[in-house]
Chain A
């Protein structure tokens, strides 16, 4: 009987340990932390590349964190080291490649641009990237167009 209780207690400890929050790491330059697990919920903060959050579970595709809800597509739940594969046989994962700025990066793009000269227009791409709509302006656009009937509050 006592033996069964101890085994139960050990099992409970293991389960409790596993149930403790998962850590997620942000894999995009920046993404919104939202008030609720909804796309049109207002942002309450910004999460940036490499930032880690302890989560309390997944709701409607968003991880709940102490700082707000973050979309699951912008993070990884895998442990990721910023140093990538250094010192462990070069076994960098895709997540680590992003965090460490390795792989196909700006240096590779520069070399590719030099090699292909007039066949690629990176200046045009840079101009395209400068065109962006802020979260506030986007929400005004949505509200004015009747796309958030109740308004995002």
Chain B
């Protein structure tokens, strides 16, 4: 791969990428992120390859990441010269021969497309490119536009802009959709302080859950004393029920890398780490390949884009510990130690990894950076609502019709997410609660469905944004059991360093076990509440500090279920076996 030194080189690669994204020949593209593969995308790919080989077809076979429509996996897209891009859903390997025949014959005899895309909008630079010119072919008039189906209509895809559009292994396709132009802009026309100013003005807040203003974090790290500084990408995504970071790492690894290079330049760091959890093998392989390509192209390493700036990235792999998503625990783990958090009265931006100034952001935050630099803070801050600019990616899962990954502007209401995008609750069941924020979050009841989704509003509601898991529960979920589920999780994931978390969560879980088994006593709820207060006050890190949230939020909104368990020895949802 040739080195990219200047705008001219970048444009050349862009042309190659465009030719690959909008080919003159027919191209078939399979969605092969973890979720796609689990539903058989790998087998579909193999069947396509075999059939193309057997019939000696002049068809390009490619792959892409997750476009978010997990409820329709496995997904296969067909791009033909001067035709809209067509998305087919739930293709099985045995249907591949008939499917290829219909492409060759130009009909929809064996399978109707699920939706079509007429034009591709590159959010990275605002460019629009149509798949065809002139009028829409007659046979496709009845196929819905992807951007108009309920699931997509309200979405704005910034962090997930390339997922499902590019082949993550093809750096040229990333460049074609605006990639690495922001890096070029940053390195050639902007001073580090200017970049930080842009990020501050954009109002970008940490997407990992805390919501800390990213620009101010960068500024503190830049101002911290020390020759050697680090930037880290937190890809530990430990919240059960959240998988947006996996999707971005797998589907658009260069988006994360570009964000990190820009951040490193702004902060004055020359070494970076991406910490990926052990459960995400495909994310590690996608990132590893992308890093080596970026090195070959001179986008990582010495003298990036001939600017004099040098920076490189290494991958650190987790080994299965939820607490390592906490920044100080993550840094301990990167140093090869047990992932125990430390008190943060000394900030990591001053004393972080190897005791040096360190700036840590999560995957989604880094993925936003190139777009902000490329399109400007003003453009970005107009999306979303005051103090909560931009979008947030959510994994909309649980008992909901359209499960998948969505990216929506901040300020959208839970009702819009669950009913308009998610299509409501299946099987005629009633909505009961939506759990957000992972084990640190809480359960939001139906009375609060009109809540606008933002960092501040979710915290006010007793939950939190967290990394973006949204688990929808219907009447078949028992809220006491859900609270116990999270405490069990946290009990086994507590690192054990400080007493309130280690012993407190354990005791609370025992009380919940008793309640679920019909041994609950009057006063248990009050006891849970007072223990929660002590754990929140006394814990060292956020894991303990937020551990009681699932209990407190369910007590607040579903007190009647606790009372039914304790007083009437009944589980209204019929989940707790001993009370059935």
Are A and B subunits of one complex?
no
Give the B-binding residues of A (Cβ under 8 A): none
